[in-house]
Chain A
């Protein structure tokens, strides 16, 4: 039940503005609630003085048949192409939506034409792009949470998928708390069970246990999904894609937190999961100096650096760039391995690379069996030659 306490009201009129259903009209300074009210509770959330009170049970979202369709949250900035992980999520959502003959919607922040997003999303079979109209340039947790809450309450999707990236993992729990529904983190598998509920599979206990999670009684079902796990499926089907704005949404950014500066990190260790070119080093590089060379090479070539577990254990490379069974899973277009023997633990994390070039001194190294170009030689020496060629080109 929605309750209104006139004695608390300060006549600010915010409730009229935030109501997505036009159910509140300010009459003689005070809000009047009309029949359009769906008891969504947004006014109670937004009221600065708690003049609206919503019974908490109602705010926790019970399952109803109204909840339909699959949503993907995109965190791209305007003008950027869609991230790989967004396309992976759209493809996954398409597959699930097909089983139920439902629609796929991409919710993303932006103004303007967004023709590029439209074209890319369409190729994954997305039906609709819902734009959050807002000029705030970056990621703001409060703004996104408000927007997604507003969108979810208006359109009632049955499932919402977030990318399990740094910002996605920051945002998703805030939304789940706001809406009062379940959220499964870092899923590696999504399917529908016999009741049509979303079966969310995630690794836990450092990957030694796989848990299958359901959200049986609450809607929407929410999950964040790891990048590079799902596959992108392009469709040739000519499908209409609709774009719409999230109307009546008033963006307000978090004012208690200010971004003072944004320091670019050493690019070499950035965004391993999204990189097109990855240059990896293994135990065969023999020392830290060679890894320094590898990082400089990556930096100049705009590639991401990766390392095997053994190299990380030796202290030659930071743990965040470890690729393999324990570490990151990657799928770059080009993967170059210097002194990587190709142990199973490592190859499991890069086997989806499109092209593999390997340098190793051992003709029997297993990596030679799976690579596209096999180079027999001392990894450190060949790496040094690569640096020389680059220097020469620059000069």
Chain B
């Protein structure tokens, strides 16, 4: 089985800087790491390889330094690494990224594509399903575990309410959501092959980078989390302001503390639940 794993380099810190002129994220000076979900996907791929044989290739799109994450995967036991690195790919949104990776995967050829369910920086979870769509193969999201059975590949999908068990026949994109897999053991391989660097030559220019991206970032604000901030009116007196902040912005309700014994207190709670 030939497996391709897509990985993304993400900034290592929550301290994100934004260029006030271009509204773009400033990546310089922020150390990069492999997206933890992608790391889990790499470990899953290596586990599958151990069971069935075959090869694991790692594919990433990004600047030159993203090659470090590919090397990291090679050290863990992946066989080949490909880095898509081209100025023309810059400014890609999820649609353009999905197209770019899918087209490259089509060229490299494989039986299974693994991705992280989402990246911890953008958190969209869109690229995996988009790769599936562009390759016209199924894409399975929120997969926590995979097993090889005689009848085919088995995937465990966590929907919150249920764990759905699927069997896949034929090629598919599987998006891994179980971060814990990333911590699995591996033998560090000293000698690794060189990373193949690819340009955008095999791609249609209208569909990649900024040109191929339908969405535009209109504005970006680091103050963020506005709905999770309290707006304090400075005309209020000091006490009101402090009380308001202490209450988390909620209305302070005057009430008596219930000091009854624990049995009647518990009865009060159970009655309230039963009424619902």
Neighbour of A271 across the interface among B93, B161, B256, B266, CB < 8 A: B161
Contact with A along B104-125 (1 / 0, CB 8 A): 0000000000000000111111
The 6 closest A-B pairs by CB, nearest first: A182-B214, A385-B266, A347-B248, A177-B133, A182-B215, A173-B126
Chain B residues lying within 8 Å of A359, measured Cβ to Cβ, are 265, 269
Q: In the bound complex, what is the Cα–Cα distance between A265 and B165 (angstroms)? A: 12
A-binding segment of B61-69, B167-175, B233-241: B167-175
B21 at the interface (CB under 8 A from A): no
B29 within 8 A of A: no
* Residue pair A207, B248 in contact (C-beta under 8 Å): no
Beyond A171-B129, A257-B169, A390-B270, 5 additional contacts (C-beta under 8 Å) are A169-B125, A183-B126, A189-B227, A260-B154, A375-B258
The answer on a CB contact under 8 Å between B268 and A258 is no
Smallest CB–CB gap between A320 and chain B, Å?
8
- Chain B 69-98 residues near chain A, CB threshold 8 A: 93-95, 98
B213 within 8 A of A: yes
B150 close to A (CB within 8 Å) = no
Q: List 19 A-B contacts (CB under 8 A).
A: A166-B141, A173-B127, A173-B128, A177-B98, A193-B218, A203-B224, A204-B123, A209-B220, A213-B216, A214-B215, A257-B138, A257-B169, A262-B162, A263-B162, A270-B161, A348-B249, A370-B251, A372-B255, A390-B270
| B230 partner residues in chain A, CB cutoff 8 A | 344
Cβ of B226 under 8 Å from chain A: yes
Binds B, one of A103-111, A117-125, A361-369: A361-369
Q: Which residues of A contact B139 (CB under 8 A)?
A: 141, 170, 174
> Which of B11, B158, B214, B276 interacts with A215 by CB under 8 Å?
B214
Residue of B nearest to A254 (CB): B138
Instruction: Check if A351 sits within 8 Å of B250, measured CB to CB.
Output: yes
What A residues does B127 contact at CB under 8 A?
173
Known: A210-B225, A374-B258. A174 touches B214 (CB 8 A): no
Whether B123 and A386, one on each chain, are in contact in the complex, defined by CB atoms closer than 8 angstroms, is: no
Which of A178, A218, A348 is B214 in contact with, Cβ under 8 Å?
A218
Give Cα A182–Cα B214 distance, bound, in whole angstroms.
Answer: 5
User: Is there a chain A Cβ closer than 8 Å to B160's Cβ?
Assistant: yes
**Bound CA span A182–B213, Å:** 7
Which chain A residues lie closer than 8 Å to B221 at the CB level? Answer: 209-210
Give the docked Cα–Cα distance between A210 and B246 (Å): 25
Contact B251 A176 (CB under 8 A): no
CA distance A372 to B250 in the complex (A): 12
Residues of A within 8 A of B16 (CB): 205, 208-209
Residues of chain B from 16 to 73 with CB closer than 8 A to chain A in the complex: 16, 18, 25
A382 pairs with B269, CB closer than 8 A: yes
Tell me the bound Cα distance from A344 to B229 in angstroms: 10
Is the Cβ of B125 less than 8 Å from the Cβ of A374? no
A212 vs B218: C-alpha distance when bound (angstroms):
5
Give bound CA distance, A229 to B258, whole Å: 33
Q: Per a CB cutoff under 8 Å, which of B94, B213, B273 touches A173? A: B94
Is A373 in the interface zone, CB < 8 Å from B?
yes
Interface centre among A207, A216, A260, A355 (most CB of B within 10 A): A260
State the CA gap A366–B248 with chains docked (Å).
9
Complex CA gap A381/B138 in Å reads 51
Interface residue B166 (Cβ < 8 Å from any Cβ of A) = yes
Given A141-B139, A210-B225, does the pair A386, B253 have CB atoms closer than 8 Å?
no
B residues near A211, Cβ cutoff 8 Å? 217, 219-220
A393–chain B nearest beta-carbon distance, Å? 8
User: Which of A142, A204, A269, A376 is B258 in contact with, Cβ under 8 Å?
Assistant: A376
Q: Is the CB of B93 within 8 A of A182?
A: yes
At the interface, yes or no: A14 with Cβ under 8 Å from chain B?
no
Contact count band on B: 35 or more
- From known contacts A254-B138, A257-B168, infer whether A271 and B160 are also in contact, taking CB-CB under 8 Å: yes
Q: Contact between B262 and A170 (Cβ–Cβ < 8 Å)? A: no
Q: Do A256 and B162 touch (CB < 8 A)?
A: no
The answer to whether residues A183 and B133 also contact, given A277-B273, A369-B247 and a CB cut-off of 8 A, is: no
- Known contacts: A177-B98, A261-B165, A277-B273. The answer to whether A185 contacts B266 by CB under 8 A is no
In the complex, how many angstroms separate the beta carbon of B81 from the nearest chain A beta carbon?
26
Q: From the candidates A181, A204, A265, A371, name the one contacting B121 in the complex (CB within 8 A).
A: A204
CB-based nearest B residue for A206: B14
Cα distance, A166 to B130, chains bound together (Å): 16
Bound Cα distance A199, B165 (Å): 38
Q: Do B257 and A374 have beta carbons less than 8 Å apart?
A: yes
Q: Using Cβ atoms and an 8 Å threshold, which residues of chain B touch A217?
A: 214
A245: min CB distance to chain B, Å: 26
**Which residues of chain A are near B134, meaning CB under 8 Å?**
177
Bound: A269/B168 CA distance, A: 27
B266 near A334 (CB under 8 angstroms)?
A: no
- Give Cα distance in the complex from A208 to B245, angstroms: 20
A259 CB-CB contact with B under 8 Å: yes
Asked if A206 contacts B120 (CB within 8 A), the reply is yes
A21-64 interface (Cβ within 8 A of B): 56-57, 60
Contacts of B246 in A (CB 8 A): 344, 366, 369
> Is A163 an interface residue, CB under 8 A from the partner?
no
A351 proximity list for chain B (CB < 8 A):
248-250
> Does residue A89 face the partner (Cβ distance < 8 Å to B)?
no
Give the contacting residue for A260; candidates B141, B160, B167; CB below 8 A.
Answer: B167
A167 within 8 A of B: yes
When distances are taken between beta carbons in the complex, the residues of chain A under 8 Å from B14 are 205-206, 208
B215's contact among A213, A258, A382, by CB below 8 Å, is which? A213
Pair B218/A368 contact, Cβ less than 8 Å: no
Q: Determine whether B252 belongs to the interface, using a CB cutoff of 8 Å to chain A.
A: yes
Chain A residues whose CB sits within 8 angstroms of the CB of B232 once the complex forms? none
Instruction: Find chain A residues with CB under 8 A from B220 CB.
Output: 209-212
Are B130 and A176 in contact, CB atoms less than 8 angstroms apart?
A: yes
Q: Does the CB pair A375–B123 fall under 8 Å?
A: no
**Given known contacts A177-B134, A188-B227, A389-B267, is B257 in contact with A376 (CB within 8 Å)?**
yes
CA distance A248 to B7 in the complex (A): 41
- Tell me, rounded to whole Å, the shortest Cβ–Cβ distance linking A258 to chain B: 5
Task: State in angstroms the CA–CA spacing of A276 and B167 once bound together.
Answer: 34
